[in-house]
Amino acid sequence: MRYKGIMAAIAAGALALPAGAHAGLLDYVGQCVPFARAASGIQIFGDAWTWWSQAAGRYVRAHTPRVGSVIVFARTARLPLGHVAVISRVVEKRVVMLTHANWSRQNGERGHTEQDVTLFDVSPANDWSQVKVWYLGVEGLGGSVYPVEGFIYPGAAKAAPGLSGKNPDDIAALIDAYAR
């Protein structure tokens, strides 16, 4: 099966990449759910907002980001299907980087994968219940605050290699987060 055929099968939910496989994962264009499933190894299906409840009893759920964990954004009017993304790097207590699909517009289109995007915990209790996400359209943190359910840890599943770039810019992530 050619690469585009493989990615189409992933998007349709008909194929899950085995843990550790990423054949062109960062070239993926599509929805966030198939990307997060393939990138994290977490085998949950359905809309992003359902992942938190589906993970109960199957995967460890927590409120602290770890590399390879999936962050579950709550369902809101702005995100009616929720959103899921994979943590690619922990920069410091309130700043991490994530790799995800279908967030920023690239060349006028949604669906593209973005690597090492800044995610900033803006919750009053410093508990990752509210975040701001870097958005390509403004080349910085967007103005919206998104509620988060928490993080799903992949357990024995292994995150795909290449989630984080070879030289992620921790300093830029900190500037994005703290320079207002």
Which stretches in the chain have pLDDT values below 50? 1-23
Sign of CA dihedral 59, 61, 66, 67: positive
Distance (Å, rounded) from C-alpha 104 to C-alpha 112?
A: 8
- Check if the beta carbon of residue 27 is closer than 8 Å to that of residue 160: no
Q: What does the pLDDT read at residue 168?
A: 85
Asked if residue 162 lies in contact with residue 26, where contact means CB atoms within 8 angstroms, the answer is yes
Going by the DSSP 8-state scheme, the letter that residue 159 receives in this structure is: P
97 φ/ψ angles, rounded to the nearest 5 degrees: -115, 145
pLDDT at 1: 30
Backbone angles phi, psi at 165, to 5 degrees: -70, 170
Instruction: Tell me the pTM.
Output: 0.83
